């Protein structure tokens, strides 16, 4: 049986794909911030592993690019002494992802750390795959074959997207499961680490006045809006393969919907939280293509078109905008439409700010004696740009003798940390052995079953959504 529980010391973190964009912008900054906050296990050491040759200067750039970028934005100041100290914890190993000898060399580096730092004791091992999903199966197999320590705790961390459709996901999960137990696998969806997303649990389940509102008797509709101000920006090779639905719809947005609309868990100590998310996902029928609109951003006043990016094919019809309707077919939500809109691109003013909101539009009062607007009451959860929760309510218009109502916002702002690796509690849970905020295999498959009809089409089916793509200039 694999060892479980908290890793308190003697940890080696291996970042596979250490020369890539994900490691540079997310993985290394998160590890640095965890170390800086004292949240890494004692005597943690880090190994970056990739195919590329990295000089000392290039490795420093990978480790600290995001920290320096945030410092330029004024979010904090660089601490050169701390950065040098952190750099001393990191080694780099160049190697292939499919050759035994490369992983054998990696094992020799791990054993050297165990000898020099851990007094010959075996290390607990975290293997973080900051790699394309197509590499997950091969690399996870090689890790198990050459770098697995049966005497200690081993964890495999993989990033979304988990496949391209239901069958592809099942193949990937089945392949990984041949070598790794479910309790050893941590499937990251970084949206679940956002402070505001984690705050939703408290908002719903620690307050008596919120939960009674969230059902079909009080909610007329639910809407989710996500806007990203950047386009492909050199990542066209990745994004053009996946598109908007695969990139954020099937994972980030659907997980957010599940958290906001699931039943209350029986406990935080067992797996009922993830089981309740699964029940919610199973209650969502596959999205009908008739309820879908796709678009691709064109050139505009603020930037070039998606296809003008040099990493994007000139004839690409990959959607950078998607809007769809779905429903939850269960007793709590039956009949309440869920409307989702997501897009990326900065060429038009309508996409000039990052935004993520979830809104519960409440039904009008039964006795509408003040004749207020039908949709004037709502509960809004805003993840960014400024995390907040607010009610839109009708109140008496100030300085009036009549009964005229005016819409007002009752607002609670969540102070956020705009620093590299700011999802500390989420990342630290990998070391704690807490999987409650990571995605279970059956959750991933249930999510794909909702969207697979939209991304898999018969070759001669000319009604497929990609053929109804339009070029948009607004949001």
Instruction: Tell how strand 378-384 and strand 321-327 pair up.
Output: unpaired
The DSSP code for 111 is H
Torsion, Cα 102 108 111 113, to 10 degrees, reads: -90
φ/ψ of residue 471, rounded to 5: -100, 125
CA–CA distances in Å: residue 358 to residues 353, 370, 391, 408, 432: 16, 27, 12, 18, 30
Q: C-alpha angle with apex 461: 458 to 462, nearest 5 degrees?
A: 145
How many whole angstroms separate alpha carbon 74 and alpha carbon 219? 41
Q: Give the H/E segment covering residue 292.
A: strand 292-297
- Nearest to 176, CA basis, from 207, 131, 232: 131
Helix, strand, coil shares, percent, the chain, to 5: 40, 20, 40
135 touches 172 (CB < 8 A):
no
Please, what sign has the CA dihedral across residues 178, 179, 182, 186? negative
Reported in sequence order, the residue ranges of 305-448 that DSSP labels E, i.e. its strands, are 321-327, 337-344, 355-362, 378-384, 388-396, 405-413
Clarify whether 252 is annotated catalytic.
yes
Q: How far apart are CA 104 and CA 161, in angstroms?
A: 28
Quote the CA–CA distance of 63 and 423 in Å, as a whole number.
17
Catalytic residue among 3, 76, 218, 252: 252
Residues recognised as catalytic: 252
């Amino acid at each position: 049986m694999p060892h479980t529980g908290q890793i308190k010391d003697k940890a080696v973190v291996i970042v596979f794909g250490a020369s890539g964009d994900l490691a540079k912008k997310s993985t290394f900054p998160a590890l640095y911030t965890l170390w800086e906050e004292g949240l890494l296990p004692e005597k943690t050491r880090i190994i970056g592993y990739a195919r590329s040759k990295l000089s000392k200067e290039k490795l420093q750039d990978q480790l600290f690019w995001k920290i320096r970028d945030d410092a330029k934005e004024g979010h904090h100041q660089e601490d050169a002494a701390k950065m040098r100290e952190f750099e001393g914890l990191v080694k780099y190993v160049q190697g292939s992802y499919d050759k035994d000898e490369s992983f054998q060399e990696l094992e020799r580096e791990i054993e050297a750390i165990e000898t020099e730092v851990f007094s010959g004791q075996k290390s607990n091992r975290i293997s973080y795959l900051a790699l394309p999903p197509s590499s997950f199966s091969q690399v996870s197999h090689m890790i198990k074959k050459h770098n697995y320590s049966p005497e200690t705790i081993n964890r495999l961390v993989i990033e979304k997207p988990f496949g391209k459709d239901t069958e592809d996901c099942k193949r990937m999960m089945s392949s990984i499961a041949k070598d790794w137990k479910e309790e050893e696998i941590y499937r990251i969806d970084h949206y679940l680490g956002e402070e505001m997303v984690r705050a939703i649990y408290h908002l719903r389940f620690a307050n008596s006045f919120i939960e009674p509102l969230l059902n079909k008797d009080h909610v007329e509709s639910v809407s989710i809006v996500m806007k990203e101000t950047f386009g492909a920006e050199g990542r066209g090779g990745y994004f053009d393969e996946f598109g908007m639905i695969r990139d954020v719809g099937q994972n980030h947005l659907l997980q957010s919907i599940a958290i906001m609309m699931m039943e209350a868990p029986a406990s935080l100590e067992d797996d009922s939280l993830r089981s309740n998310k699964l029940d919610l996902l199973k209650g969502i029928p596959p999205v009908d293509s008739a309820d879908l609109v796709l678009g691709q951003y064109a050139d505009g006043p603020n930037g070039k078109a998606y296809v003008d990016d040099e990493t994007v094919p000139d004839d690409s019809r990959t959607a950078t905008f998607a809007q769809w309707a779905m429903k939850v077919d269960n007793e709590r939500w039956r009949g309440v439409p869920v409307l989702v809109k997501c897009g990326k691109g900065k060429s038009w003013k309508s996409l000039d700010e990052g935004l993520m909101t979830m809104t519960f539009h409440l039904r009008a009062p039964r006795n509408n004696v003040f004749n207020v607007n039908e949709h004037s009451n709502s509960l809004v959860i805003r993840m960014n740009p400024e995390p907040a929760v607010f009610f839109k309510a009708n109140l008496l218009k100030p300085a009036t003798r009549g009964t005229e109502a005016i819409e007002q916002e009752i607002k609670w702002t969540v102070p956020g940390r705009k620093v590299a690796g700011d999802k500390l509690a989420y990342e630290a849970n990998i070391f704690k052995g807490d999987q409650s905020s990571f995605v279970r295999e059956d959750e991933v498959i249930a999510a794909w079953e909702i969207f697979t009809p939209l991304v898999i089409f018969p070759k001669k089916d000319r009604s497929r959504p990609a053929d109804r793509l339009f070029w948009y200039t607004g949001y």
